[in-house]
Structure 1
Amino acid sequence: MSCSKSKIDMPHPVCLITNTEDGGLLICQEGIDILDQIIQPVVVVAVVGPYRTGKSYLMNRLAGKRKGFALGSTIESKTKGIWMWCVPHPHIEDHTLVLLDTEGLGDVDKGDEKHDVWIFCLAVLLSTTLVYNSLGTIDNTALEKLQYVTKLTEHIEVKSRTEDGESMELMRVFPSFVWTVRDFTLDLELDGKEITADEYLENALMLKKGDTVTPNVVNYNKTRRSLLDLFAVRKCFVFDRPGNAKTMKQIEKLADDDLDESFVEQSMAFCTYIYTNSKSKTMRGGRSVTGRMLATLAQTYVKAISSGQVPSLDNAVESLAQIHNSRAVQEAVEFYRCEMTKRVHFPTETQQELSDIHAGVEKEAISIFIKGSFNDQNQEYQKDLVKCLSKEYEELVKQNMEESRKVCRSIITRVFGSLEEEVKKGIYMRSGGYIEYCSALERAVQQYRSEKGHGLMVEQVLTNYLAENNNVGENILAADRSLSEAEREIEEERREKEALEQKNRQLEEQKAIQEKLFLDEKNSLRENIRQLTVKKEEEERRSREEIMRLQQAIHQGRRSPWNSFTSFLVNDVIHPATSWISKIF
């Protein structure tokens, strides 16, 4: 298997969720490790259905392979638990197609309906497209075998955000539904007119009137109503038999030319639809789910089931947000730290130089966080990021100053060294020596300032040095007998004036640094808000697209709750009453 941040290509499927000896479910670490490496958005297609109906073959075709998911040629069910195959998406760049093959429902050897319900629920929770595969026709018997759908509201918890209740909320987050009917031998006709496979499905799902009165009608409508209530997007494909019994036993070894032509065409149409219409998995607000996030969701759901709880969409989102927002902060800070280490060469000549590097790297770090985070309530994690990056930058500023001080001290030692030696020898302790000393000192100061590479603490270090050696000039001035008392007073006043001017240079130097740092802080907050605004606008755009998708999927006037549902999305998602920007920082 080859994995990278940009691409993952598994040579074969691996188990994602396995069965325990006592009939429970257990996460397989190998599958989680693979998902954890995928930072691309994922399109998740899961197949469910009765055992021995050819589910695995369909998934192999979606993977573009003849072999992969185990096919069985006997009455024994081959797939146990949920198996996963991650391949580059053939149509969408920088996306990974995650195929989930589930164990057959209704396996007589297993005989555990509750286990089947959980497998069905997990397939629904993890996928963006749910493929239900069955044999023969879509009749009442086939729909009775799909009774698991009626238990979804009992086995999946979601806090309703609409007046229309849980079903409408589930419809918003549930995958699209594709029913594949294998070995279909009927003519697609209704009342003597040719119909499409989609019309065939919708006709089979039509409700009988009187379901609130007659028990038989209630039972008849139960599965149908659940499918209509929970899956906004529905699609149907019918398949001819691929060949005779001999062909069926070795189908994974045969090329398309060896299979029934109609079956091959139908299979290609199915794959094309999945590639083209299956959306990337998203959370509320349109946040794309990566493989890494999908791994967390799978772990969260299985943990809830194993502990006897009902998987909660809200708890899963909260858990996912905590884990991935914390990770997003860590990754952003680590990126900032590493990039600043590579790009900054201490000491910088000016604070502006360090500020410019900081601004560029911080912008990238914020982008990493924005892309990796979601559902950041009140921007708590982004606030943490701001604090962390501010602390990192503060340390770099301190380091830059200290490195500059070291370089400046080294330059002072070199430049003022000869003057200090002359002072030690007493060369200037004579008549006329003070003027000569002042001239030599001024030359050294000018040479010091003209040096390159000493950084931004030039005047501070010079001020400290001159202050420490102030008594040298005083002693030389006192020893110079060539100066009159008036001249001596003038020189003392000049020395005080020069010391004050030097102090002012230091203060101006410090003021310029402080002003730049304050501007850096303002620019940092501005960049955080800018990127957050862009992200929010993108989420709003995705929400609008989701509304349009559901509007197109639900026939005009077929569902009375639609108006209030649309109102919820528009008022609570797209145009929140309180600006989220005002809450940050």
Structure 2
Amino acid sequence: MSGTVSMKEPVCLVESDREGRLHVVPAAQDILNQIDQHVVVVAVVGLYRTGKSYLMNKLAGKNKGFALGATIQSKTKGIWMWCMPHPKQADHTLVLLDTEGLGDVEKGDEKNDNWIFSLAVLLSSTMVYNSMGTIDNHALEKLHYVTELTEHIKVKSGNGDEDESTEYMRFFPSFVWTVRDFTLELKLDEKAITADQYLENALKLKPGHSKNIQAYNLPRECLRNYFSPRWCFVFDRPADGEKMRRMEELTDADLEPKFVQQSNNFCTHIFTNAKTKTLKGGVKVTGRLLGNLAETYVAAIRSGQIPCLDNAVLALSEIENSGAVERARVFYQENMASFVVFPTETQEDLSDIHAQIEKEALAIFMKSTFKDENQKYQTKLMEVLQAEYQQIWEKNCQESKRKCESIIKRVFGPLEEKGSSAYTVPGGYNKYCTDLQMMIQKYKAAEGKGVKAEEVIQVYLDGLANLGQTILAADKSLSKAEQRTKEEEARREQVERERCAAQEQVRMLKSLQEDQNRTHQQHINQLKEKMEGDMRNATAEYQRVLDAKLKEQKDLLKHGFDEKARQMQSEIQDLKTQKYQEEKDSPSFMNKALNFVGDTAMMVLPGFLPKLGGLALKLVSKIF
């Protein structure tokens, strides 16, 4: 269950202080910060004492958790949160939000109610509105909060007076109206209808332009214009009055069978149809992002501003993108520390580990980054991981050098202890060469030398050259011609050692260059995949709203609202134009971003390679 949490009970997410100002509770935000999975957020709102908390407990699979209360007083204050692994969607967390009952006569704070309702809309992917009795004009009048949403939520950050109503449906949650203690038959004109049809019939508009008709139509138009899709569930009374006061103690066996079935149908629907929470642009929200989103909106409300979706996305992108770079860096650092055993036998061994962990670190970054203008944060990640890799490469070289020097000390120690005096006898030079070759073979046979094996032995043996020359000059058993032959053999061996050391460095350089190419390609591939996914999400977002608007237009025409249908045609055309323009601009925008990343990689990635390349070339030039 990596990346999620399973809470035993709900906690308060948003609370009011003594002055009535809203705050995000730090403990709740800490919980959300632990959730790297995408979240499905279901919020319930409604008048106080209508049984909202029961539905949330049912979704949580518990009898108790969210406070039910058994009196006429509202129990839930602020917004309470319960997180758990999603029962049907793998790698998703279900976040349940139970809100303070609206219209509490004891509280009498209409402003607070409006903000609670607005926050439920802003934070959820599915909003459940719970009411009692029937969906009639009286019930819709009580839902006046929806008519005031445009006063409490802005889509765009500009100060203009442009109409944003067509934008709300793109970013608002789906809507479920649950009707409790429903006693009517689901029939219309003597024909059986579904609960969804019951809701849509209740949202039918009246023709005319009088003040009364406008007031009648307003909440209905808002629900039709802001929320899609919409569903409805009706519930019989669960039990008699005495049992109703002990709901937390009752099991399904104690409740009316029809109510139990209706509750199960509701839960199944939510688990199946409630979608992942997304932001403007189709950005999928994680638990961590949800916590930051709540803080952003609540901070705006507390400062007297109107929460703005554009501003929220921009502010969150800065927070999330910076965090994404750091999380990717920590993942890379910790996993390289776990999997790399210094020194690696070859550079290729180190490169293979680096390639896999870098790929996973980049995926972690891509999963949560969004609105990364000009790939600013991706460039930063490239620089950060390159710096981390350089440190690891340098340590690998140092550890290899240290291990090689330790082996040399052990293997060649006897030779150094003897010194030249042990060999300054007739035939001493051949004895010296024999001992030296035996020790070289022991060194080569030793394991764990790493990437500097040839370079270190070459440097060491070069240091012994004077000793060999001294012993050779002192060996009176050799003629001048034989001494010259031996000197030539020693020079050839030295050149061979230098050649092997140079080849070792060239192999390392080649492997590091392949690392660069692989990194370059990974950044391009994963960015392309992400941008294609973002485009699909944005297209789906547009298409969902277009389908809803076309359906609404058809319904308006069917019921004689020709003028409204014509007005809606303008909205539909604007949406089509926006969708077409984004799809048209997407390929060039993507190519620009990919080219930018490619060009940036060519500047960022070389890093320490020129230094290494120069060393290798120097060694090669000595040979030839």
TM-score > 0.5, shorter chain as reference? yes
Structure 2: which 5+ runs fail to align? 555-567, 601-624
Q: Distance in 2 between matches of 1:62 and 1:260?
A: 18
- Residue 568 of structure 1 corresponds to which residue in structure 2? 578
- Pairwise CA distance, 1:160: 8.1
Residue 119 of structure 2 corresponds to 122
CA contact (8 A) 2:170 2:542 kept: no
Specify the code of the residue in structure 1 equivalent to 2:471: I
1:156 maps to 153
Residue of structure 2 equivalent to 1:386: 382
Which residue number corresponds to residue 94 of structure 1?
Answer: 91
Aligned with residue 478 of structure 1, among 473, 480, 489: 473
Matches within 5 A, 1:192-271: 192-211=190-209, 214-271=210-267
| C-alpha displacement of 1:127 | 0.6
How many residue pairs get aligned? The number is 578
Greater displacement, 540-549 / 521-530: 540-549
Q: Is the 8 A contact 2:343 2:397 kept in 1?
A: yes
SS at match of 2:419: helix
Matches within 5 A, 1:382-461: 382-424=378-420, 426-461=421-456
Aligned equivalent of 2:57, options 57, 60, 66 = 60
1:583 maps to which of 596, 605, 615? 596
| Structure 1 match to 2:619 | none
Is 1:352 aligned with 2:348? yes
Note if contact 2:280-2:310 (Cα within 8 Å) is conserved in structure 1.
no
SS in 2 for 1:26: strand
Instruction: Give SS of 1:419's match.
Output: helix
Question: What secondary structure is seen at the aligned counterpart in 1 of 2:279?
Answer: coil
Q: CA separation of 1:114/1:427 partners in 2, compared to 1, >3 Å: closer, same or farther?
A: same
Structure 2: distance between partners of 1:278 and 1:146:
22
Flag the 1:421–1:263 CA change in 2: closer, same or farther, 3 A: closer
Aligned-partner Cα distance in 2 for 1:378–1:129: 33
- Which 10-residue stretch deviates more, 478-487 or 61-70? 478-487
- State whether residues 550 and 572 of structure 2, in contact with CA within 8 Å, keep that contact through their aligned partners in structure 1: no
Deviation at residue 566 of structure 1 after TM alignment: 4.1
Q: CA deviation at 1:545?
A: 4.1
Partner of 2:185: 187
Counterparts of 2:265 and 2:546, CA distance in 1:
25
Q: Quote the residue 1:373 is aligned against.
A: 369
Alignment match of 1:538 (pick from 524, 533, 556): 533
Of the three residues 6, 13, 22, the one matched with 1:9 is 6
The answer (yes or no) to whether the contact 1:328–1:368 under 8 Å persists in 2 is yes
Q: Work out the CA distance in 2 between the residues paired with 1:349 and 1:284.
A: 50
Q: Per the alignment, in what secondary structure is the counterpart of residue 35 of structure 2?
A: coil
The verdict on how the C-alpha distance between 1:568 and 1:360 changes in structure 2, with shifts beyond 3 A counting, is same
User: What is the letter of the counterpart of residue 513 of structure 1?
Assistant: M
| SS of the residue 1:519 aligns to | helix
Q: Aligned to 1:132, which of 121, 129, 132? A: 129
- Residue 278 of structure 1 deviates from its aligned partner by 0.7
Match of 2:167 among 162, 166, 169: 169
Match of residue 302 from structure 1: 298
- Equivalent AA in structure 1 for residue 95 of structure 2: V
Q: Report how far residue 302 of structure 1 moved.
A: 1.0
For 1:260 and 1:153, the matched residues in 2 are separated by 41
For structure 1, which segment, 130-139 or 508-517, has the greater mean C-alpha deviation from structure 2 after superposition? 130-139
Choose from 492, 505, 524 the match for 1:510: 505
Which secondary structure state, in structure 1, belongs to the residue aligned with residue 220 of structure 2? helix
The alignment yields a C-alpha RMSD, in angstroms, of 2.7
Do residues 317 (structure 1) and 328 (structure 2) align? no
SS of the aligned residue for 1:427 comes to helix
Deviates most, 102-111 or 367-376: 367-376
Which amino acid in the other structure matches residue 428 of structure 1? Y
Change (3 A) 1:38 1:470: same
Structure 2: distance between partners of 1:91 and 1:440: 73
- Between the aligned partners of 2:294 and 2:157, the Cα distance in structure 1 is 22
Contact kept, 8 Å, 2:13 with 2:79, in 1: the verdict is yes
1:144 correspondence with 2:141: yes
Q: 1:144-187: CA deviations, max 9, x gaps?
A: 221211222221122289x9952222211110011122233333
Q: Cα distance, 1:357 vs. partner?
A: 1.7
- Residues of 2 paired with 1:230 and 1:343: CA distance? 52
Post-superposition Cα deviations, 1:361-420, rounded to whole Å, max 9, x if no partner, equal: 222222222233333333322222222221121111111111111122122223323333
Q: Secondary structure at the match of 2:423?
A: coil
- Tell me if 1:40 matches 2:37: yes
Structure 1 residue corresponding to 2:16, chosen from 8, 19, 22: 19
Residues 39, 467 of structure 1: alpha-carbon distance in 2 compared, 3 angstrom cutoff: same
More moved, 290-299 vs 572-581: 572-581
Q: Mean Cα displacement is larger for which, 560-569 or 98-107? A: 560-569
The offset of 1:82, in angstroms, is 0.9
CA distance in 2, matches of 1:105, 1:345: 61
- Kindly indicate whether the alpha-carbon contact (under 8 Å) linking 1:160 and 1:166 is maintained by their aligned counterparts in 2: no
